[in-house]
A and B are shown apart, each in its own frame.
Chain A
Amino acid sequence: MFQLATLKNLIPMIVLIIGVLPASPAEAVEPTPDKQVDVDGGVAPQLLQIDKMIAEVWDAYQINPSKPATDSEWCRRVYLDVVGRIPTADEASSFAADNSNTKKQKLIETLLYDDLYTEEFARNWTTVWTNLLIGRTGGTENRSMINREGMQKFLRDSFARNKPYDKFVHQLISATGTTAPGGEDFNGATNFLIDKVNEENASLATAATTKIFLGLQVQCTQCHNHPFNDWKQQKYWEMNAFFRQARAIGQGMQSGMGNVATLTDRDFAGENGNSPDEAEVYYEMRNGLVAVAYPVFVDGTEIDRSGYVSQTNRRTALADLTVKSPYFAKSIVNRMWAHFLGYGFTSPADDLGPHNVPTHPALLDYLGQEFQSNEHDLRQLISWIVLSKPYGLSSRQNKSNVSDDPLLGEPPKFSHFYLRQMQAEQLYESLMATTAGVQRSGSYAEQERVKNEWLQQFNTAFGTDEGGEATSFNGTIPQVLMMFNGDMIKSATSVAQGGLIDTIVRAPMSNAQKVETLFWKGLGRKPKAAELSLAKTLINTNGGNFAEGLRDMWWVILNTNEFIFIH
C-alpha cells in the first residue's frame, strides 16, 4: 500500500532545504497582499461583484470581517478543496516562498489547468460527485445494479476534460446503455439512475433528479401538498411522469466486470395500459380521490403526452428543460459555494424552494447568470470562488464577528472562514501524499480498491425506499480511535526502513530541519519555537532516540485539531 521511498523521493527534500525554504521566520504570519489580478492585469468582474455583495451584508449587520488567512492556511485550504488533499511540504513551502503578488492566481490556474494536476483534480471531483449521485454505499449492496467503477469512469472523464456542466447533467438524466466498463454499449452515466427507476414508480429518480440538479425537494409532495410552500402533489407526479418510459434491466454479476445492467427507454402506454398517445399517471390524493398527471416541468412547461419513445423521449425532454432552468445554474452555484465556504446561501444547500430564502439572493442570481453565460464552465466558477475575498479570510474570529457562526443557528455572513473537518477521502489522500509522495504503486483500479476498503468501515446504508446512508467519520470516538490506533496511522508513523520517518532521519539536514519537515508535511507551515521544544521533549522521553521522537511528533501532528480541520 505504501510506496517505499527511493532516492528519487529524497531529491525534492534536498531541493527544499537548499533553495526553497523561506528565510524569514515571520513568513507564517504575514499574508500576501490581497490583490487578485489575472495575468493581463485586470480583476475579473465576478470577483469584484462577489466581494461587493458579501461586504454589503457585513455592513448591514455591522460586523467587520476577519483579517486575511496566512499564506499557509490559504494554500492548504485550496489544495484540500480543489484536489482533495493537503499540499506536500514542497508545494506548501514553494507557495510560501513565492513573493509575487499574483501567486494566488498562479496557484489556482496550476491546479485547474496544469497537466500535472489533472488526474488529482478529476479524482477529487469524482469522489464528490460519486457520493452525491449514488452515495458512499451505492453499488455495495447485494441487490444493487450500480457499477461503481462505471460511474467513476464517466465522472473522471468528465472532470478531466472539463465537460460543460449542462452537457454533463444532460447525459446523466438521459443516459441509456450498460453500466459496466468493458461491456458493449457501456455508458457510465447510466449508473446514476439505474437503481432509481424500477421501484416505487421511479420515486427515487424523481426526488434525486430534482434535488441534485434543480435544488428542489419535491419528495414530500409525493403523498401530500408541501408543508412549507404551496407546491401541490400534482407537481410531484408531473415530474415523475417524465421517468415512466425508463426501465433498468439487471444482468447480474459478471466476472471481471461487476454488476451489469442496462438502462433503456420503452414505450409507455399510460398506467391503465391502453393510452400510449396520452400516457397518463395516476395518484391518490389525501381525500381518497384519484387524480391524473402528464409530464409537466416545474416551471409549468408541458410536453407532448405521447408515451412512444420515438415520438417523445421523456427523459431527453426533461434533460433539455432542466439545463435551461434558472434553478439549474443557481443550484450548482450554491452547491459549489457550500463546498468551498462550508455553507451555501441557503440551508440546506440543495433546497432552493420558495420557503427557503437565500442569505444573499442577488449574488446567487448574479453568479447563476454568469455561470450560464460562461458556458457552464465549472473550473471558471471554482476560480471565482477561490480568489474571492470571503474565501481568503482567516478562520480566526474577532470581537465583531464572533456572532457570525452557523453552528449557533445564525445564517452565515461569511465574515470569517468556517472551520470544518476533512472528509474521510481527503484524510486518506492526504496521508497518501505525505508518505508516498504523489506517485503511487499499483494500477488505478487497485489503488481505488484499497482505498474503498478502508473507507467502507465508516459507512452504513439505511436500506429504506429513500436510499439514505450515514457516516461515522464525523468527529466522534470511532474516528478518533482510528486516528489513535488504526493500521493506517501505525503505518504512517512507523520507523521501518524506507518509510517516511526513516527517510527524514537519513536526510542530510540538521535535526531542527528534520522536525520542520514534519510540520511542513502535516500542517503546511513552519513550527513555532514552543513546538520545536515539544519535539525535543518527545525525543528525550524516548531516551534520546531521534527516530522514535520524530515518530511521536508525527503522531501528535496527525492527531491535532489543526490537522483534521480545514481552517
Chain B
Amino acid sequence: MNRKTPRGMNRRHFMSHLAGASALTGTALALGQTLRANAQEMQRNQKAAILLWMGGGPSSIDLWDMKPGANTGGPFRPISTNGDVQICEHLPMMAQNMDKMSIVRSMSTREADHMRGRYYMHTGYVPNPNVKHPSYGSVIAHQLGTQRPELEIPAFISVGGESEGPGFLGMAYSPFSVNSSGRVRNLNLGISPDRMASRMQALKLMENDFIDQRRGIAANEHAKVLGKTLSLMTSSQMEAFRVEKEPTDVKERYGDTNFGRGCLMARRLVEAGVPFVEVNLGGWDNHQNIFNTLENQKLPELDRGMSALLEDLAQRGMLDSTAVMWMGEFGRTPNINGNTGRDHWARSWSVLAGGAGMKPGVAIGQTNEDGTRVQGQSYSSEDLMATVCKSLDIDLETTFTSTSGRPMKIANSGKLIEGLI
C-alpha cells in the first residue's frame, strides 16, 4: 500500500484549501438529533469498545455454559480457568484469561432468524419498517468519536465484515469496512495534492448547488462522506491499519488467521483513538457436524485471537478503558439434531463482556441442568448495550430524536446487568 502523503505540505495546509467548505469537512452532527452528553467526563480517558462478532450464531452450551451430565451436553468437557467459571476444554488459552472477562449465561432473546437477530443484537431494537436504528458502532462513534477532533480516520471500523448501518444517524456514521490484511483500496491520490485541492474546491461548489435545490437529505449526506473520505486519505493515522508492521512474535501470538490479524488491528486502532472496532469471525451456523467444526476449526482460531487481544490490552494498560464484547445473533439448540448439529436458539444463551471497569471472572446468571431455560433474571440485547455504554461513561439518558420525530433512548431503555457493573 503506497499512500501518497501530500509532500511538502502538512495536513493543515492541505485542508485549508477547503476553508469554508463546511459541508465537506468537520464532523457535523447528523440531522434531527439532540443529545445531552457528558463531554468533559469522556475526554479524560479515551474509552473504546471492541465487539467480537461471531456471525452465524455460536453455540454457548459447547463453549461457555457446559452441561457435561445432560444429554444435551455434547462431547466436550469443562476445564477450570483463572476466573470463577469453567469453560470448554478446547479454549485453553482463554482459560488463562477468564480473569478479564465475565460470561452472561442468562441471555434470553426472541430473534432466531439471522437477519433479524443480527439487527437486534447490533441495535438493541427489533427491525421496524419505519425506522432504521443505528448500529452499536454508529452510536458509539457518534457519542465518543465526535468528541475527538484529532481523529482523522473513521470512528467506527469493521474488520472482515460489513456490520449493521448507521440508520437515522446518517451515512457519516457508517462502519468503515476493511479486511484483516489492513489494505484499504484506492487510497492512492495519483495527482498532486494541489491539484486535488483545486478539484475539491470545484466539487464543493457543485455539491452545494445541488444541496440548495432541496431535493432531500441524501444529497447532504453525500457531501459529508466526501469530507470524511478526504480526511482519511490524508491521515497518518492510516498506519494503524498496517498490522504487518507488528513484531513477528506478536503476530504469531495472535495467530496467522483473519480473526487473529483482525484482533491485532483492533488493538492498534483503539490505540490510535478509534472508539469502536468490530472484528468478525463467521462460520458458526453449525446445523451439521458441529463438534468436528468447533474442535478443529472455530475454537482454535477463536481461542488464540481473543486471548491474545485480552492479554495485550491488559499488558498495555488499555483494558480499563476498553470494553470487550463477544456475541453472535443467538445461541444454538441444547438439543442435538439428526445431523450432529445444533439449530438456532435464542431462548437461553451466553455472551461475554469485560474491560472498562466491568467485573471480570464471573458468570452472570445461569441456565437449568440441560441448558434449555434461564433460571432467574434474564437479559436482552438492550441490557447488554446499556451496561457497555455505562462502562464507557455514556449517559444512559441520552436521547436521539429519530428522523420520525420519536425520541429514542440510547440503549432502548435497557437495564444494567447486575453483577457486571
Q: Which residues of A contact B (CB under 8 A)?
A: 200, 219-220, 223, 227, 347-348, 356, 395-397, 402, 405, 407-411, 418-421, 457, 460, 462-466, 468, 470, 472, 474-478, 480-482, 484-486, 490, 530-531, 534, 537-538, 541-542, 552-553, 555-557, 559-562, 564-565, 567
Contacts and interface: CB of A to CB of B under 8 A. Distances in A.
A484 B195 CA distance: 13
B305 to A, nearest CB: 18
Nearest to A553: B202
Contact of A482 (B114, B174, B186, B189): B186
B214 A556 contact: no
A476 B216 contact: no
Given A396-B215, A476-B175, 9 more contacts: A200-B287, A407-B217, A410-B404, A460-B162, A477-B154, A482-B185, A538-B202, A561-B210, A565-B219
A386 to B, nearest CB: 20
Nearest to A223: B112
Contacts of A227: 110
B205 interface: yes
* Among all A-B residue pairs, the 4 with the closest Cβ atoms: A409-B404, A470-B162, A347-B129, A480-B229
A563 B224 CA distance: 16
Contact of B161 (A200, A460, A485): A460
Interface centre among A356, A419, A420, A485 (most CB of B within 10 A): A485
Contacts of A486: 185-186
B218 A420 contact: yes
A466 B283 CA distance: 13
B186 A541 contact: no
Interface string B186-200: 111110000100110
Interface residues of B, number: 67
Nearest to B129: A347
Nearest to A561: B222
B229 A484 contact: yes
Contact of A407 (B206, B207, B233, B403): B403
A475 B221 contact: yes
B203 interface: yes
A477 B403 contact: no
A325 to B, nearest CB: 23
B113 interface: yes
Given A460-B162, A477-B229, A534 B206 contact: yes
A397 B215 contact: yes
A408 B202 CA distance: 31
B215 A567 contact: yes
Nearest to B284: A464
B226 interface: yes
B225 interface: yes
Interface in B247-268: none
B189 A485 contact: yes
Given A464-B114, A476-B176, A552 B55 contact: no
B414 interface: no
Contact of A462 (B114, B188, B211, B225): B114
Interface string B117-149: 000000000000111000000000000000000
Interface of B: 32, 55-57, 110, 112-116, 129-131, 154, 161-162, 165, 168, 171, 174-177, 184-190, 195, 198-199, 202-203, 205-207, 209-211, 213-219, 221-223, 225-226, 228-229, 232-233, 282-283, 285, 287, 344, 402-406
A539 to B, nearest CB: 11
A396 B175 CA distance: 30
Contact of A418 (B184, B216, B285, B404): B216
Given A463-B56, A465-B287, A457 B185 contact: yes
A397 B217 CA distance: 11
Contact of A560 (B177, B207, B287, B405): B207
B228 A477 contact: yes
10 contacts: A396-B215, A409-B403, A411-B130, A465-B285, A476-B174, A478-B185, A481-B229, A560-B203, A561-B218, A561-B222
Nearest to A564: B222
Contacts of A534: 202, 205-206
Given A463-B283, A560-B207, A555 B161 contact: no
Interface centre among A418, A472, A482, A556 (most CB of B within 10 A): A556
A484 B207 CA distance: 15
A562 B213 CA distance: 11
Contact of B282 (A407, A463, A555, A562): A463
A466 B111 CA distance: 14
Nearest to A531: B206
Contact of A480 (B165, B213, B226): B226
